[in-house]
């Protein structure tokens, strides 16, 4: 995790963190279809927001608490401190 990536985490970076975690631990397995697991194929804003909304919902369910982060703001590069807290 470099300073530059954490200052404004890009979608692809977040996607790669999740998919690597899923491959290593099984966390979130079955939540996404094959196309969603290919970070290069997710180029549209709405698809990125959808991916992140599922991920946030999964983490909230596991933690049993609300996470103060909005997928649309993550995609827009806003509120990076909340994105980092989510990570």
Ramachandran region, residue 38 (left: φ > 0; alpha: ψ -120 to 50; beta: rest): beta
Alpha-carbon dihedral angle through residues 28, 29, 33, 35, given to the nearest 10 degrees: 80
End-to-end CA gap in the chain: 11
Report the distance separating Cα 41 and Cα 44, nearest Å.
9
pTM of the shown model: 0.91
Range(s) of the domain holding residue 71:
3-86
- Which CATH number does the domain housing residue 8 bear? 1.10.418.50
pLDDT at 47: 97
Half-sphere exposure of 54 (CA within 13 A, CB side): 17
Query: How many independent structural domains does the chain possess?
Result: 1
Phi, psi of 81 (to 5 degrees): -65, -35
Q: What's the pLDDT at 45?
A: 97
Interval 59-68: pLDDT, tens = 999 999 999 9
Query: Which pLDDT score is estimated for 5?
Result: 80
């Amino acid at each position: 995790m470099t300073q530059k990536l954490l200052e404004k985490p890009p979608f692809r970076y977040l996607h790669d963190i999740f998919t690597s975690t899923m491959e290593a631990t099984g966390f979130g397995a079955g939540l996404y279809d094959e196309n969603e697991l290919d970070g290069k194929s997710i180029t549209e804003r709405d698809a990125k927001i959808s991916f992140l909304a599922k991920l946030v919902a999964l983490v909230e369910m596991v933690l049993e608490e609300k996470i103060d982060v909005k997928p649309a703001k993550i995609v827009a590069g806003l509120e990076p401190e909340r994105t980092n807290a989510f990570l």
